[in-house]
Amino acid sequence: MAGQGGAGRGAAIDISAVSKLYGDFAALTDVSLAIRPGEFMTLLGPSGSGKTTTLNVIAGFTEISGGSLEVGGRSVVGVPAHKRNIGVVFQHYALFPHMTVSRNVAYPLGLRRVARPEREARVARALDMVKMSDFAHRYPSELSGGQQQRVALARALVFDPPLLLMDEPLGALDKKLREWLQLEIKRIHRELGTTFVYVTHDQEEALVLSDRIAVFNRGRIEQVGTGRQLYDEPETLFVARFIGDSTILRGPARTDGSSTALSIAGETVVADKRLDGAVTPVMLLRPEKLSLRRPGAAPDASGLNRLRGTIAEAIYLGSGSKYEVRLGDGSIALVRSALGDEGFAIGEAVDLTFAGSDAKLLADDSSADVMLT
């Protein structure tokens, strides 16, 4: 999977036990991350979680307080930003307003003393790659946001850096343009084989683009993995809640051998696994693992967990329906039903069922709620 399709020119990055302190405030605490050559790695997290600080550390805009950082097998600690040879695309484009598009793109080549004929050829190629050749003589102020960001991409890639960093590059654009540019970025990554490190707070964008995702929370990495791993096997409650929809069941827990029982408003649900250590377990359920029945329907579901609730909200999605079900303890469960399943009306009493094997057990973490609001 790593370096797929590319020529393998990308650089590996090894971040090891990096910390960053601003006075007493720890922006990064013990962050370790190994990025493979040619990989598309996304740093995902809410604002203030440390993802942009990590990017700035790699770029050389911020010096680290402790730990080590290697790019392409060489330590870059103490190396100033302009000697790192790393491309950076900024959220607000950061195109030089007093230079035309082509002079912007030629800028890093001029600094590297690339001869004029070659410089022009490479500028033309870079602009062609982002489909901006027709705008070479415009000034940035005459371009739209999407066009400016494509020029910024060309400028960051024209000097063939082995590593490209992108800090929420599509954050300021509208949805349609963002989706189209996501595909463009993916295509360029595939063509070049450069290592891409991408910062975003948008989990959908992360899922579309990335080979792997590192989820940041409060200056730490919570989990690293492919989108599927993060969705199916979240290791922390924060990750579970940040990636995809989920229902969290909380209640007094009793561990019995290899299974755990939770009591919710007088009803008991059981998951066939257990958490070790002195932690409070909560149950995590993805919407498609839950199903709804009318109360009193045939109890064929032997061995299924069952919770009583009422439909609080019903949303028709075309490909199916989404329901919010209010449970006995007042919490809300999210249920997605496929097309052709029977429909339910708001206010209707329902039974919520799920298999004990589909429930994940995670340690409770109240900060996961705070960070997402």
Give residues 29-48 in contact with another protein (rule: CB under 8 A): 29-34, 36
Q: Given the complex with another protein, which of 59 and 262 has the nearer CB atom?
A: 59
Eight-state DSSP code of residue 183? H
Query: Total number of residues binding another protein (CB under 8 A)?
Result: 55
169 binds another protein (CB under 8 A): no
Query: Closer CB to another protein, residue 129 or residue 327?
Result: 129
Q: At 305, which amino acid appears?
A: N
Q: How many CB atoms within 10 Å of residue 296?
A: 8
CB of 30 or CB of 267, closer to another protein? 30
Check residue 60 for interaction with another protein (CB under 8 A): yes
Q: Does 231 bind another protein (CB under 8 A)?
A: no
For another protein, which residue of 4, 5, 96, 369 counts as binding (CB under 8 A)? 96
Tell which residue, 217, 172, 189, 230, has the closest CA to residue 37.
189
Cα–Cα distances (Å) from 78 to 6, 16, 62, 84, in that order, read: 30, 15, 10, 10
Our finding on whether 126 is near another protein (CB under 8 A) is: no
Q: Which is nearer to another protein, 46 or 67 (CB)?
A: 67
Note whether 100 binds another protein by CB under 8 A.
Answer: no
**In the complex, minimum distance from the CB of residue 228 to another protein, in angstroms, rounded to a whole number:** 13
8 binds another protein (CB under 8 A): no
The stretch near another protein (CB under 8 A) out of 220-228, 261-269, 273-281, 364-372 is: 220-228
Contacts 24+ apart (CB under 8 A), 220-227: 220/28, 220/29, 220/30, 220/31, 220/50, 221/31, 221/32, 221/33, 224/33
Q: How far is the CB of 180 from another protein (least distance, A)?
A: 24
Distance CA 32, CA 68 (A): 9
Residue 44: partners with Cβ closer than 8 Å, 6 or more residues away: 51, 200, 201, 203, 206, 213, 214, 215, 216, 242, 243
- Shortest CB 86 distance to another protein, Å: 6
Q: What gap in Å lies between CA 333 and CA 330, rounded to an integer? A: 10
Tell whether residue 14 is a contact of another protein (CB under 8 A): yes
The 3-state secondary structure of 310-366, one letter per residue: EEEEEEECCCEEEEEEEECCCCEEEEEEECCCCCCCCCCEEEEEEECCCCEEEECCC
**Closest approach of Cβ 46 to another protein, in Å?**
17
Q: Is 213 in the site for another protein (CB under 8 A)?
A: no
Angstrom distance (rounded) from CA 217 to CA 203: 14
Q: Shortest approach of another protein to residue 11 CB, angstroms?
A: 13
Query: Where does this chain touch another protein (CB under 8 A) — which range of 8-16, 128-136, 170-178, 284-292?
Result: 8-16
Of the candidate spans 66-74, 198-206, 296-304, 359-367, the one that interacts with another protein by CB under 8 A turns out to be 66-74
Contact pick of 4, 5, 7, 66 for another protein (by CB under 8 A): 66
Least distance between another protein and beta carbon 17 (Å): 4
Q: Angle 145-157/175-192 helices, nearest 10 degrees?
A: 20
Least gap, CB of 12 to another protein (angstroms): 8
Q: Does 289 participate in binding another protein (rule CB under 8 A)? A: no
Residue 5 sits in the site that holds another protein (CB under 8 A): no
The answer to whether the CB of 43 falls within 8 A of the CB of 96 is: no
Instruction: Write the Ramachandran bin of 103: left for phi over 0, alpha for psi from -120 to 50, otherwise beta.
Output: alpha
Question: Edge-to-edge strand order for the sheet containing 253-256?
Answer: 253-256, 259-264, 267-271
Local structure of 115: helix, strand or coil: coil
At closest approach, how far in Å is the CB of 284 from another protein?
19
Closest distance of CB 90 from another protein, Å: 6
- Check residue 59 for interaction with another protein (CB under 8 A): yes
Phi, psi of 309 (to 5 degrees): -165, 180
Contacts with another protein by CB under 8 A lie at 2, 12, 14, 16-17, 29-34, 36, 59-61, 63-68, 75, 77-78, 80-88, 90, 92, 94-98, 107-108, 111-112, 155-156, 159, 165, 212, 220-225
